[in-house]
Copies of this chain bind each other. A is one copy, B any other.
């Protein structure tokens, strides 16, 4: 979630004025613009969902069609305005939100030729991530960044964990394929791997479940393993999340205490005023 605050408005008065409305929400018009935008995003998402229901689509086809055109045209206009009013245009276009804004438009125009792509419009929802800025929810925004940072910092460990998990599932699935030998749901190795993942993640649909006693025994072992393994990602993220609790750079220069909270002004160990 890249911040947009390093975008600089164009010099012309009108572009500066528009910039403030579009990118900021510290004016009345800016706030109104944001609320309209949010409503249109929600409405668009809702329409796409409803269009997929044959009964509703049949009844409101024209309404949906017209609304979608209006919203999409508005988004198109907005996208080009966003480009027009910033000086460092490339910066916006390749920013996190710039790409999302673009992706929110493309499927509509593509769907004129390839109808199925219409449903990709659901990606418009991602624009909602701007929601925090809209309501000036600074605390929320900070918490959001903290969450994203914690995930980013632990992403490497999570990748390794997932690699282990995948290798584990493939092996378990193959063993199970030999055990249940082509019984329903275990006809092929990929099928058996599907079952292994469903089991080890404790999802447990039950569309595939072991039938032979040996198979059930293996399943029990796998479930107990999965139950213990689930602790690993949790441990990773929890350990990471602790990081954000204290100021990692501050040290008390009298007693050397490094366990200093972000909001501390005095060392809690020796009472020295912190710089």
Interface assignment of A111: CB less than 8 Å from any CB of chain B: no
The CA of A198 and the CA of B204, in the complex, are separated in Å by: 9
Q: Which residues of B contact A165 (CB under 8 A)?
A: 224, 227
Interface assignment of A156: CB less than 8 Å from any CB of chain B: yes
Instruction: With A174-B119, A202-B201, A205-B205 as known contacts, state yes or no: A228 contacts B233, CB within 8 Å.
Output: yes
Is there an interface contact between A199 and B203, defined as CB atoms closer than 8 Å? Answer: yes
The CA of A144 and the CA of B164, in the complex, are separated in Å by: 10
Is there an interface contact between A238 and B244, defined as CB atoms closer than 8 Å? Answer: no
Interface assignment of A71: CB less than 8 Å from any CB of chain B: no
How many of chain A's residues have a CB under 8 angstroms from any CB in B? Answer: 101
Interface assignment of A7: CB less than 8 Å from any CB of chain B: no
Return A230 CB to nearest CB of chain B, in Å: 7
Q: A122-156 vs B: 1/0 string, CB under 8 Å? A: 11011011010000000110011011001100001
Q: Which residues of B contact A236 (CB under 8 A)?
A: 147, 231, 241
Is there an interface contact between B271 and A271, defined as CB atoms closer than 8 Å? Answer: yes
Within 8 A of B (CB), among A198-223: 198-199, 201-207, 209, 213, 216, 219-220, 223
The CA of A273 and the CA of B271, in the complex, are separated in Å by: 7
The CA of A178 and the CA of B123, in the complex, are separated in Å by: 13
Interface assignment of A270: CB less than 8 Å from any CB of chain B: yes
Contacting chain B: which of A47-55, A62-70, A85-93?
A47-55
Is there an interface contact between B263 and A170, defined as CB atoms closer than 8 Å? Answer: no
Which residue on B lies nearest to A56, using beta carbons? B188
> Which residues of A are in contact with B by a Cβ distance under 8 Å?
45, 48-49, 52-54, 116, 119-120, 122-123, 125-126, 128-129, 131, 139-140, 143-144, 146-147, 150-151, 156-167, 170-171, 174, 177-178, 187-191, 193-194, 197-199, 201-207, 209, 213, 216, 219-220, 223-224, 226-228, 230-242, 244-245, 255-261, 263-273
Q: What are 28 pairs between A and B in contact, CB < 8 Å? A: A48-B174, A49-B170, A49-B189, A49-B190, A52-B177, A53-B189, A116-B178, A119-B178, A128-B163, A140-B156, A147-B164, A162-B228, A201-B224, A201-B226, A202-B227, A203-B204, A231-B236, A232-B237, A235-B237, A235-B240, A242-B245, A255-B256, A257-B269, A260-B268, A261-B268, A265-B268, A265-B270, A269-B269
